[in-house]
Amino acid sequence: MKKITGLVLSLFAGTMLYGQTRAQNPEASQITALQRQIAGMQHQFDALDKTIDDLTWSQRLGDAVLVDKVIITGPPPAVIKNPTGQGAKNPVRFSAYVFIPSRIDPSKKYPLLVLPHGGVHSNFNTAYAHIIKELTAQEYVVIAPDYRGSTGYGQGFYQLIDYGGLEVEDTKSCRDYMLQNYDFIDKKRVGILGWSHGGMITLLNLFNYPSDYAVGYAGVPVSDLIARMGYKSQSYRDAYSADYHLGKSADQNVEEYRKRSPAWNAQKLQTPLLIHTNTNDEDVNVLEVEHLIKSLKAEGKKFDYEIYKEAPGGHTFNRIDSYGAKESRMKIYDFLAQYLKPNKKFKDVKELIEASYFPKQGK
């Protein structure tokens, strides 16, 4: 009886203490609520930024390029919390940008380039405007997906991310959409290019769909997620193990990280490929790309690559506006042109530069 009485008294004391703690610190629940509210507001701010950036495409490209933004679908979500819910397994809707040289002849055929953006949760934006100018001046048609997980479309879309998984399928859906809807696309002249995470998506598209692309370019590509988790910060690793992301850390599910790493899938390459990396890259450590290069060589694959030594610009060394960056992009365009045969290929860097301020001429 004394034991029971003591237990009841202990439970009562604990309940009283809990209630007192809550009464003494009501701010705790308010802070939690505010944190959730602020997180939601961040997605609203991102959506606003996205809308503003979309408005500037025409300003950046002028009347030399027709710009459209389309909505298409990819596979259903990777994780469905309520599989029996209404519409739970519907395909995921996402946006993509279509860039068409305004002076093309629709009765002729033109090559297509698929351009997935870089960055975890980033998006395609006007930071790519100079590259779009250069591509369309050569009379490439370009499609650039804001695949699942991209920023600027709300929290729900943000949390659909499937890093190195269904992002790849969304990108492939863009390629298929263009061939189905634009008669002036030459189905035999389709390439893909991307930088950083976009380079990773490029590689996985080439590996998974080798017959659907004539050529690919991967710039400073994320190549080995297992190694990447080792040299990045704990907060970076935590982002990947979030329940809406990969769900587990690399040590908890090494096979899943391996499956999404190009360096561990090098045996699949069948398509002409050019890789660029930079020894002073502050984002994708050169060791990742070196692993990819060594893996491709070990598999006896034929491909082209260049390791730049301390090139100014680090991670973005050949995406910036310096002359050296333009020289590097000229190498990319020369490589792509071997397989895609653009109607107005640049002869040299001079023509590339002129395309930036005389895009109408389309030399």
Nearest to 193 by CA among 203, 181, 183: 203
Determine the average pLDDT of the residues in 59-72. Answer: 94
pLDDT for residue 17: 43
What tens digit of pLDDT does each residue of 142-161 get?
Answer: 999 999 999 999 999 999 99
Band (8; pLDDT cuts 50, 70, 90): very low
Instruction: Give a yes or no: residue 24 inside a domain.
Output: no
Instruction: Give a yes or no: residue 25 inside a domain.
Output: no
Strand, coil or helix: 257: helix
pLDDT at residue 269 is higher than 80: yes
pLDDT at residue 207 is higher than 70: yes
Determine the average pLDDT of the residues in 275-300. Answer: 98
**pLDDT > 90 fraction of the chain, expressed in percent and rounded:** 82
The 8 Å CB, 24+ separation contacts for 356-363 are: 356/130, 356/133, 356/134, 359/61, 359/62, 359/64, 359/65, 359/133, 359/136, 359/137, 360/62, 360/63, 360/64, 360/103, 362/64, 362/101, 362/103, 362/137, 362/139, 363/137
What tens digit of pLDDT does each residue of 128-137 get?
Answer: 999 999 999 9
What tens digit of pLDDT does each residue of 54-63 get?
Answer: 999 989 998 9
Instruction: Give a yes or no: residue 133 inside a domain.
Output: yes
pLDDT at residue 9 is higher than 50: no
pLDDT at residue 30 is higher than 60: yes
pLDDT for residue 24: 57
Instruction: Give a yes or no: residue 251 inside a domain.
Output: no
Instruction: Give a yes or no: residue 5 inside a domain.
Output: no
Band (29; pLDDT cuts 50, 70, 90): confident
Q: What is the mean pLDDT of the chain?
A: 91
Q: Report the CATH number at residue 145.
A: 3.40.50.1820
DSSP codes, 184-245: TEEEEEEEEEEETHHHHHHHHHHHH-GGG-SEEEEES----HHHHHHHS-HHHHHHHTSTTT
pLDDT at residue 23 is higher than 60: no
pLDDT for residue 316: 98
Determine the average pLDDT of the residues in 61-68. Answer: 93
Band (11; pLDDT cuts 50, 70, 90): very low
pLDDT at residue 33 is higher than 80: no
pLDDT for residue 347: 96
Instruction: Give a yes or no: residue 131 inside a domain.
Output: yes
Instruction: Give a yes or no: residue 246 inside a domain.
Output: no
Residue 41's domain spans which residues? 30-224+261-358
Instruction: Give a yes or no: residue 231 inside a domain.
Output: no
Overall domain count for the chain: 1
pLDDT for residue 359: 64
pLDDT at residue 169 is higher than 80: yes
